[in-house]
Amino acid sequence: MPTEILLTDPPLWLTTPLLGEPAATALLHTLDAELDWQRPTLRLYGREHVIPRAQVWMGDPEAHYRYSGRDFCPEPWHPAVAELRDLVIANLADQGVQAGFNSVLLNRYAGGEERMGWHSDDEPELGPDPLIAAVTLGAERPLRFRWKPGAAPAGDAGAAAPFNAWLPHDSLLVMGSGVQRQLQHALLPRRIPGLRISLTFRRIQS
Ligand SMILES: O=C(O)CCC(=O)C(=O)O
Ligand SMILES: [Fe+2]
């Protein structure tokens, strides 16, 4: 499986394809049809906002998670998601990376206007230095990265600039050690039509 290295320090890389066809497209439709997609409201600066996407939180029963001030209890693993989790773990093992995931946040973007704002996946439950594996199915959109203040690599100005990681259908983006500490990422609205579902596998420490 071809791998494209986006950053070496901290490590950020993209592997495509992951499942191959027709499996990847079949999985997109299975998840779209069979999951109980939720649009919770979040409190931001004292006001309630419906999130601009839909989501499902899934995982082992003990993998509780606080996100934007709310406590999420995971849904049990859908068999297709559990199978994908194991494939991602095997793919990482092939690349010499030991990883275990007890939970996944699934995000469903109905079209280009749906989005996720700037953040790092740095909640305390994830531990000091999480490895997060993000699978994309459906429309190809860019995940935008920007360096946190003081974290950008020294040297030429280009290395410190924000950049896009284009995430094609059936791809695996790995955010390794230091990515959450040094960078933020966002899925910004773009005039790119089509359904996209992402699965960000994580390990919650208990
Ligand atoms: O949809 C994406 O690719 C990004 C999702 C993400 O950043 C997250 O689930 O924390
Ligand atoms: Fe994220």
Supply the CATH number for residue 109's domain. Answer: 2.60.120.590
Q: How far is the CA of 117 from the centre of ligand 2 (A)?
A: 9
Q: How far is the CA of 48 from the centre of ligand 1 (A)?
A: 21
Total domains present in the chain: 1
Helix count and strand count (H, E) for the chain:
4, 15
* Rounded Cα gap, residues 107 and 119, in angstroms: 15
Q: For every one of its 206 residues, what pLDDT tens digit does the chain have, with 9 covering 90 and above?
A: 799 999 999 999 999 999 999 999 999 999 999 999 999 888 888 999 999 999 999 999 989 877 667 677 899 999 999 999 999 999 999 999 999 999 999 999 999 999 999 999 998 899 999 999 999 999 999 999 999 998 988 877 788 999 999 999 999 999 999 999 999 999 999 999 999 999 999 999 97
Enumerate residues 6+ apart whose C-beta is below 8 A from 191: 112
Strands 141-147 and 171-175: unpaired
Q: Is the ipTM of this complex over 0.95?
A: yes
Q: Starting from the CA of residue 119, give the closest ligand.
A: 2
Ligand 1: which of 14, 67, 187 to mutate, most ligand atoms within 8 Å of CB? 187
What are the structure tokens assigned to 17, written together?
């394809």
Q: Which atom of ligand 1 is nearest to the CA of 136?
A: 3
Q: Whose CA is nearest to atom 2 of ligand 1?
A: 198
Ligand 1: which of 198, 199, 204 to mutate, most ligand atoms within 8 Å of CB? 198
Q: Starting from the CA of residue 179, give the closest ligand.
A: 2
Q: Whose CA is nearest to atom 6 of ligand 1?
A: 200
Q: Whose CA is nearest to atom 3 of ligand 1?
A: 198
Q: Whose CA is nearest to atom 9 of ligand 1?
A: 200
Report which DSSP code applies to 131.
Answer: -
Q: Which residues line ligand 1 (CB under 6 A)?
A: 105, 107, 116, 121, 134, 143, 167, 185, 187, 198, 200
Structural domain containing residue 91: 3-202
* Rounded Cα gap, residues 174 and 13, in angstroms: 5
* Rounded Cα gap, residues 198 and 31, in angstroms: 10
Do 92 and 111 meet the contact criterion of CB atoms below 8 Å apart?
no
